Structures are given as C-alpha cells and as structure tokens.
Homo-oligomer: A and B are copies of this chain.
C-alpha cells in the first residue's frame, strides 16, 4: 500500500494495493473527467504521451476504452498483440525485461492483459512487467484481477445506489455452455465492495469457488469496513432484497486438472443458473443488474434482463473509460 502523496509512476494491479483515500481521488477525478467529456471541454492531461497496451488475449472494451481514453487525453495508445512482437518470436523470444526496459524509454505507461492456462501465472506475468518497469504498469486483466473493471463497477454503483454502506451486493456465478471466463472480475469485485461496507454475498454452485486467498481478503475487508461477506449456493436467497446483482460466468480454478469432458459435465449441472426477470423480481425495486460484458445472452442472463429496467450494463461499460482516464492521468 503506497503512502506516497504523489501518484506518478504507481502501478495498478490489484485495487487492494491502493488506499481508500487514493481511490477516492480516482473516483472524484473520474466524475470530473466524465462531466468534462459530456460538455466537450478539452482535458489533454497526457498530451503527446504514449500508453502501450500489451495484449496476450482478445478484447473489445479494454482496448477501445484505453485507446479512446488516450486520444481524449491528448496522447496515443499502441495496440500491441504479443504475436506481432519479439516476445512472441518462436525462434528466440525476447525476455520481458528487455521489452519493458525499451518501452519505458519511448513512452509513459504500460497496460497488460493476459490469461494463462494455469491460474496465477497471468498475475505473475503482469507483476514481472511491473518489477522491470520504471513507468507505471496497469493491469488490463489477469486471471486473478481486473482492477479497472472493479473501479468502473464501484463508480457505477455509487452513481446509482446512494450510500453504499450495508447495501446488499450479490456476486453470482452464471451458466454458459461455452464461455470459459477467468474469475478476475468476481475476485476483484468482492474485494473492492467489501472495503466500502457493503453486505456482499457470493452465490455460486459449490464447485465454483474462488481463490481462497481472495475469499480471506474479502472477509477481512468486510470486518474492517463494517460490512459483511458470505458465500452461498442458494441463488434465490441471494437475490432476495438485493440492491446490486452482478451475475456472470467464470471457470473453476481447476478445469485443467479434471479434464475437458468432466469440466463440461460439471458446467452442465448448473444450467438453471441464468439471471431471469423472475429472479430479478426478488430484488429491491430499485436494484441494478450488472455485467462486465461480453455476455452470453440466453445463458448467463436473458435479454429481458439485459435490456430491461434494472440493467446498468452500458453505463457500467462507459465508466471503464472514465476511471481509466483518471488512473492514467494520475500515474503517467
């Protein structure tokens, strides 16, 4: 946890590593930049500066929100697929150290997105970038954390659910026959929401638990903030009276160990874990439905919910832009 008064050069890999005071600065600045964007007021905080986006995996929101962010801030983001770079050279791949120590001479920040077959490796990879770089490294999602999504999500909640303390936030697993999403979003979000005193419920079939260290962190956060954290496999119970529903598919941490067929059979046991309008009827009248997208419509959630009155999904996606502009403006 940095106690420095300056944000310049700081990494963002896990929101837990930023103090509540620092995060408050991010949220206030996000809202300020959001208003300035809406009225077309220039805010070129990163004029002529460069942000390198290193992608080991595909993306829509992340790439486009960061690239548009840099344009709005007066700079430019490089869309770098590792397969077009020397670190992806099959003959003699360049080491991360050498790639990073060169990029830091040309530009001002590095973003990395990576998913890896073995849980934890993606996270370690991003930390290797951060260790080598003298310029800030921002995680654009690893297998463990998605800090910018978590910040966008909390900003959205704060905009729509006033006084978030003791409000009921439900993070729920959702069925999809084919999507194999990493657990970064639920993991980041239960950690961040518990810091803000929310009553956080993690609802999932018992096999779809998260990283035990993350669960432990969420519990500790709740204790410190005066909120609560509970796990359950009772989906309906979780929905009852909820203020926020965040329901989305993710893989278990050990599909790899059990094999492809067993994994598919396991997933297919829970075909009824779809977010429907009937389920939403159990929540508070003013509750919001959240999903970080992409969504497997009809499986994870029905279109009736996605396009219905509770849905906050596009406002949530928009806030990626604003929080990222705030973070980049602060650290670069």
Contact = CB atoms under 8 A, between A and B. Distances in A.
A92 B60 CA distance: 13
A294 interface: yes
Interface residues of A, number: 62
Contacts of A94: 60, 293-295
Nearest to A307: B97
A202 interface: no
B71 A49 contact: yes
A318 interface: yes
Interface in A24-49: 42, 44, 47-49
Q: How many copies does the complex hold?
A: 3
A294 to B, nearest CB: 4
A102 interface: yes
Interface in A303-327: 306, 313-314, 317-318, 321
Given A50-B67, A78-B67, A61 B294 contact: no
Contacts of A67: 50, 76, 78
A92 B178 contact: yes
B71 A321 contact: no
B178 A91 contact: yes
Given A78-B64, A92-B294, A294-B89, A317 B84 contact: no
A326 to B, nearest CB: 15
Contact of A76 (B52, B71, B84, B296): B71
A263 interface: no
A74 interface: yes
Interface of A: 42, 44, 47-50, 52, 55, 58-61, 63-65, 67-69, 71-72, 74-76, 78-81, 84-89, 91-95, 98-99, 101-103, 105-107, 176, 178-180, 293-297, 299, 306, 313-314, 317-318, 321
